[in-house]
């Protein structure tokens, strides 16, 4: 497998870990977030089980695409890929994604209809644990992508 393919695989693994942590947090009662359904509603315009499945597919696909995007950043910047630089890129990625959440709230038909709750910037409307998880999830995502790409780049 090529180094970019490893970066994409790291992105899929990071995205799965992020989504899985939301399910674990919900099961433990420490956060109230159904981001798979939220993202699926952006695609399907409804908040049912098919939206949840579509949200998972979308999130994993975006993980692969963003993993490849990280390789472009590494190539253009000349920064050596690794878990540490990946974590820094993940922090920047998390800042951008967190700032974009209000726009996603505004674009989400289920949020507008009141079927799903708003997340707000950095998911602050879903609680303090969600804010910490949002930031940490993106940092971990970046670390996985950086490590996967760095370990297989020639």
pTM of this structure: 0.92
Burial of 148 by CB count in 10 Å (0-12 exposed, 13-18 middle, 19+ buried)? Answer: buried
**Which of 52, 50, 48 minimizes the C-alpha distance to 113?**
48
Query: Which DSSP letter does residue 119 get?
Result: -
- Output the six-digit token pair for 39: 């993202």
**Which of 60, 79, 78 minimizes the C-alpha distance to 12?**
60
Query: Which DSSP letter does residue 46 get?
Result: S
Residue 102: what pLDDT? 97
- Residue extents of the structural domains in the chain: 3-152
**Which of 55, 82, 84 minimizes the C-alpha distance to 71?**
82
Contact (CB, 8 A) for 13 and 145: no
Contact (CB, 8 A) for 52 and 37: yes
Write out pLDDT tens, residues 82-139.
999 999 999 999 999 999 999 999 999 999 999 999 999 999 998 888 899 899 999 9
Where helices occur in the chain by DSSP H, the ranges are 3-28, 35-44, 49-77, 83-107, 109-113, 128-152
Write out pLDDT tens, residues 17-53.
999 998 998 899 888 888 999 999 999 999 999 999 9
């Amino acid at each position: 497998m090529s180094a970019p393919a490893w970066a994409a695989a790291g992105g899929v693994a990071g995205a799965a870990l992020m989504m899985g942590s939301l399910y674990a947090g919900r099961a433990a009662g420490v956060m109230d977030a159904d981001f798979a359904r939220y993202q699926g509603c952006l695609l399907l315009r409804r908040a049912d089980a098919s939206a949840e499945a579509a949200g998972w597919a979308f999130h994993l696909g975006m993980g692969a695409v963003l993993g490849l995007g990280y390789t472009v950043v590494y190539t253009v910047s000349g920064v050596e890929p690794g878990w540490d630089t990946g974590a820094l890129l993940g922090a920047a990625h998390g800042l951008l994604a967190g700032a974009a959440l209000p726009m996603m709230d505004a674009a989400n038909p289920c949020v507008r209809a009141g079927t799903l709750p708003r997340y707000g910037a950095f998911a602050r409307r879903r609680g303090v644990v969600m804010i910490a998880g949002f930031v940490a999830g993106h940092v971990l995502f970046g670390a996985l992508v950086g490590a996967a790409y760095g370990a297989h780049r020639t």
